[in-house]
Structure 1
């Protein structure tokens, strides 16, 4: 099983669709879309496959209280979303799980443990769009 670990604030912020007017609503919409990936085999950004995907999403700030849809494990960052995401990635990596983090945040990328794969929001948004087309 592969863990798809999503930096929700970063992915939401990747498209200028008015998300800043309703951050919690934008996070909820993304989480609902992510639920469709849970348990499926997702084509990875490197051309390989992420089998039996477990979706873990980190939310922070105004989005911290959004509902978690079935199939998505939501990590509610009590402070920094980056801190929560780095800790969650390390936890899954220590457990020997294949982890793919979705973020464009260079500072966060530098804090991830070795062996954790990273891709940008564009890959995830394209996959979600492909599934709803």
Structure 2
């Protein structure tokens, strides 16, 4: 693998870059009734991520309209399990028990070679665990700013 690590928060490497999304944390970051149907809320996020995977993520530098197309992985847990991307653009990892541990395991698997991994979460404990593995971390607001409008 030949990617480079992100140069700054929110900046994805050019190749072999991965975006790992803490679905529960991102969905839970907005009080929009997600708790009434967790699977539907997760599906809505996955649908937006699938569109993002197709159009790419605008570079933070904004130089010449550059875009990145990272491999997008979302981790679901509990009642949100079963949500999927019908287009196959987003990989969904359904955690058996502990979503945070599934994210850590996913990051560990992806960090081989020179791959860059960015995790979307606001969970401080998870943030610390994935940063120890070499991943960059951004918050849910960063992701929401890049998603297509609801």
TM-score (norm 1): 0.87
Partner SS for 1:55: strand
The answer for unaligned runs of 5 or more in structure 2 is: 1-14
Match of 1:28 in 2: 43
Post-superposition offset of 1:103: 0.2
1:50/1:17 CA distance change after superposition, 3 Å = same
Please, which of 9, 29, 53 is the counterpart of residue 14 of structure 1? 29
The answer for unaligned runs of 5 or more in structure 1 is: none
Partner SS for 1:38: helix
Worse overlay, 35-44 or 97-106: 35-44
Q: CA RMSD in A?
A: 2.0
Partner SS for 1:96: coil
Match of 1:79 in 2: 97
How many residue pairs get aligned? The number is 130
User: 1:49-88 to 2 correspondence within 5 Å?
Assistant: 51-70=68-87, 71-88=89-106
Post-superposition offset of 1:50: 6.3
- 1:11-37 deviations in whole A, cap 9, x for unaligned? 000010000111111000000000012
Partner SS for 1:91: helix
- 1:86-120 deviations in whole A, cap 9, x for unaligned? 11011111242111100000010111144311000
Q: Distance in 2 between matches of 1:118 and 1:50?
A: 19
1:114/1:43 CA distance change after superposition, 3 Å = farther
- 1:15-70 deviations in whole A, cap 9, x for unaligned? 100001111110000000000121544135x6487622211000000011223332
